[in-house]
Amino acid sequence: MRFTKLFLFALTVISSTSLFAQTEECDKVPRYTFSNTLDKQQTELKNNPTLKEFATLREELDAADRWRPDYHFSAPDGKLNDPNGLCFWQGKWHMFYQAYPIARDRKIQHWGHAVSDDLIHWEDLPWALYPEKDDWKIYSGTTLVEEDRVIAIHHTPKYGNYIAISKDPLLLNWERLPNPVVRTPAKGEKAPYKVFDPCIWREGEYYYALSGSKEEGVGKIRRPVEYLFRSKDLKKWTYLHPFVEKDQFFTSNDDRACPYFWPIGSTGKHILLSFSHYSGGHYTLGTYDTERQKLIAYDGGGFNHGPTGRGGFHAPSASPDPNSDGVVAIFNMKRASAAREGAGFNEIMTLPRLLSLDEYDQLVEKPYGDYQSLRGAHQNISNMPLEANKEVVLPNIEGNVVELALEIDLQKCKTIEINVLQSPEKEEYTRIVVMREAGYPNTARTSKRKIRTSTLMLDATHSSVSDLVGIRQPEIADFFLAKGEILKLHIFIDRSIVEVFANERKSLVLRPYPALDASRLVSIRAVGLPAQLLKADAWQMKSIYKHKQ
C-alpha cells in the first residue's frame, strides 16, 4: 500500500529523544504570519504550502484506509488527540486539537486548527500553537472569546500553563505570553495544588482558571479535583482553593483532565466537563456559588461507559452556543486497537452535540450542527408491524455512510434490537438494544418520575470478523422514556463509528470495524411481544471533504 507522507514535513524519523533533537525537529515545522483582514487571509490561505500539503495527505489517507470516516472530522495528516478550545468567533466555529506534525512522534505536540460555518463542514487551517524553545509539548486547554480577542490557555508538561492571544478574523496569528502564567511547582516544592490541563472564564474584573488533576483520597485511591486560580491581568495568578463541592459522581481512580466550565444558558445551572484517563469523558452539573467561587455538584455521569481507550469516548471540547440555551461539545474517539488505522490514520472526532437540561435539571444531549446538509439519497418505510421474535431486514435501507431515524411504538414490548452494518449471513453486525424500564428507579432523584429508567446498549462484539480488531465491552446507559412514549432513535454510521441518540436524551458511541464489503444491512426485532415500526428514514451521507464530493 503506497503511503508516501505519513506526516507533514517529516524529513527524517526522529532517532534521538534528546532536547536538542526535539527542538531541531520543531524548527522544521513552517510558521506563517498572516494579514489581519478576512479577505487577505483567505487569499493567503489559497497558496499556503501547509494547506496544499494537507490536501494531498487527505487524499492519500482516504485511499489507504477503508475505515477513515466521510463526515466525522479526522486530522489531515492522520494523527490527533484531544480536541481543544472550541469557540465561536466572528461568525465561525473554531476547533483546535492536539496535533503531531513531526514524523509520527507523540513526544512533539502542536495545536492543530480547523474552522467551520456549521459545525459539520470543517476546513483545515495551518498549525495554531507551536512549542517554544525547549518547551516542546503543548497539551490541552481552552479558549475564552472576548469582544476584541480570543484568549487560549494550555498546559505544557515541563513548565506549566501558558496563555496566547489572537485578534485576527480566522485566529491565524497568536501571540503567546512569554512565561507560564501558572507555573508547575519545582521538584520537592510543596504546593497545595497541581498544575495540569486548564480552562478559563471571566467574571467582572477577574479571570478565573481551573487546573484539572487528581489527589490522593482514602486508602491512597486517587480522586478527581480542580484547582481554582484568579487573575486581573492574565499574567499574575493567585491560587484560591479546590473548586467542586459534593463531588461524588466519579469512579475510584478517576482524574479531571481537559476541564470546560460553562453556564447552561439561562437555567442558573453550570456544567463542568472533563476527561478521566481511567474512564473517559465525564460531566458534573451544579450550582455555581459566585461569592465563594465554588461549584456545588448535584448530578454527574459519564459520556463513556467503560474504560478509556479501545474505541471509547475520550476528551471533550465545549463552548456556549450563541443560538440556544445549551453548550456545544465535541469529543475525540480512540481507535479500537493498535492494529487498526495503521498507515498514519489515528483517532477521529464525534459529531457535535448540544448539551442542555430537561425540566428536572438532568443533562440531555442531541446531535447538533447542520448534518442535514449532508443528506443524499433517501429511503423510507412507514407503519411496518414487527412480529414478536422475528428479525426483519429493512428493505432498501442499507449503507456504511448513512443517517437513520427510527420511530417505534413499543406497545407492550419491552425490548427492541436493531442491527446495523450487518452482513447478509450475519457474520458481522453492530447491535443496538433498547430495554424499556430495565434501568434504575428514580435516577432523576425526583418524585415526579415514578417509573424505572430504560436502558440503551450499543454492542460491537460481533462487528468484525477480523482478528486484528480489539475488543470492548458494550456501552450501556440509562435514559428516561415515559409510559406510552414513542421510542425515537437517531443513528449515525460512518465507516468505523456508530453514534446512537435515544429520544434526544442520551447518546452512545462505539468504533466498529466491519471487514466485509457486504456489511451494510439494517435489521430489527421485537423481543417477546410485537411492536410497530412507525417510521424509518435513511439518508446516504455525503463527505465533508472537497476531494470526495
Residue 249 has pLDDT above 90, yes or no: no
* 444 — pLDDT class (breaks 50, 70, 90): low
What's residue 417's pLDDT? 98
For residue 333, the surrounding DSSP H or E stretch is strand 327-333
Over residues 80-103, mean pLDDT: 92
Q: Which domains does the chain have, with CATH numbers?
A: 19-367 (2.115.10.20), 376-548 (2.60.120.560)
What's residue 500's pLDDT? 98
Q: What is the pLDDT of residues 312-322, one digit of tens each?
A: 889 999 999 99
Separation CA 162–CA 540 (nearest Å): 44
What's residue 78's pLDDT? 82
Please answer whether residues 419 and 430 qualify as being in contact, where contact means their C-beta atoms are separated by less than 8 angstroms.
yes
Integer-rounded Cα radius of gyration of the chain? 23
What's residue 466's pLDDT? 87
Over residues 185-205, mean pLDDT: 93
Over residues 55-66, mean pLDDT: 88
* Nearest in space to 540 (alpha carbons), one of 440, 364, 403: 403
Separation CA 227–CA 307 (nearest Å): 25
Residue 412 has pLDDT above 70, yes or no: yes
Which of the residue ranges 21-25, 105-109, 154-158, 259-263 would you say has the lowest mean pLDDT?
21-25
Residue 283 has pLDDT above 80, yes or no: yes
Over residues 471-486, mean pLDDT: 92
Q: What is the pLDDT of residues 121-139, one digit of tens each?
A: 999 999 999 987 677 789 9
Question: Strand 92-99 relative to strand 80-89: parallel, antiparallel, unpaired?
Answer: antiparallel
What's residue 342's pLDDT? 53
What's residue 6's pLDDT? 36
Q: What angle do CA 335, 336, 338 make, to 5 degrees?
A: 75
> Left (φ > 0), alpha (ψ -120 to 50) or beta: where does 8 sit?
beta
DSSP state, 519? -
What's residue 448's pLDDT? 59
Please answer whether residues 4 and 57 qualify as being in contact, where contact means their C-beta atoms are separated by less than 8 angstroms.
no
Q: What is the pLDDT of residues 4-30, one digit of tens each?
A: 333 333 333 333 334 445 555 666 788
What's residue 20's pLDDT? 45
Please answer whether residues 353 and 507 qualify as being in contact, where contact means their C-beta atoms are separated by less than 8 angstroms.
yes
Separation CA 131–CA 360 (nearest Å): 45
DSSP 352-372: PEEEEE-TTS-EEEEE-SSGG
Backbone angles phi, psi at 46, to 5 degrees: -60, -30
Other beta carbons less than 10 A from residue 531's beta carbon: 25
Residue 514 has pLDDT above 90, yes or no: yes
Whole-angstrom CA distances from 41 to 38, 45, 132, 168, 538 are 5, 6, 24, 9, 39
CA dihedral 424, 429, 434, 438 (to 10 degrees): 120
3-state secondary structure of 466: coil
* 220 — pLDDT class (breaks 50, 70, 90): low
For 435, the grid coordinates are 430495554
**pLDDT, averaged across the chain:** 89
Other beta carbons less than 10 A from residue 35's beta carbon: 15
For the chain, give the percent of residues with pLDDT over 90: 72
For the chain, give the percent of residues with pLDDT over 70: 90
Name every residue whose Cβ is closer than 8 Å to that of residue 152 and which is 6 or more positions away in sequence.
85, 96, 111, 128, 129, 141, 142, 143, 163, 164, 165, 166, 174
Residues in the chain: 549
Over residues 471-479, mean pLDDT: 92
Residue 1 has pLDDT above 50, yes or no: no
For residue 59, the surrounding DSSP H or E stretch is helix 49-64
Q: What is the pLDDT of residues 251-281, one digit of tens each?
A: 778 899 999 999 997 878 999 999 999 899 9
User: Looking up cell 516544592, which residue turns up?
Assistant: 189
DSSP state, 220? G
Separation CA 60–CA 6 (nearest Å): 9
Over residues 511-531, mean pLDDT: 96
